[in-house]
Amino acid sequence: MTEKRPDAPPHPRPETREERLKSALKANLARRKAQARARAAEDQGAADSAHETED
């Protein structure tokens, strides 16, 4: 009754605190970069439309 099933995947080892922090930092940096790109595109679009209305 205590047979191991050969097809069962091994248990993943738990992440260390350092690995969790590294992962969170990477996700945060990616999110901030995406926000910065969106703001830059928004600013560029606003600047383009402002120049069109000046003519």
Residue 33, in any domain of the structure: yes
**What percent of the chain lies above the pLDDT cut of 70?**
75
Residue 41 lies inside a defined structural domain of this protein: yes
Give the structural domain span for 55.
28-55
Total count of domains within the chain: 1
pLDDT value of position 54: 56
> Phi/psi at 2 (nearest 5 deg)?
-105, 30
Cα–Cα distance, 3 to 51 (Å, whole number): 74
Residue 42 lies in a domain: yes
Give the span between the Cα atoms of 38 and 36, in whole angstroms.
5
What's the whole-model pTM score?
A: 0.55
For residues 16 and 48, give the distance between their C-alpha atoms in angstroms, rounded to a whole number. 48
Residue 55 lies in a domain: yes
What whole-number distance in Å separates Cα of residue 24 and Cα of residue 32? 12
**pLDDT given at position 53:** 59
Q: How far apart are the first and last CA of the chain?
A: 83
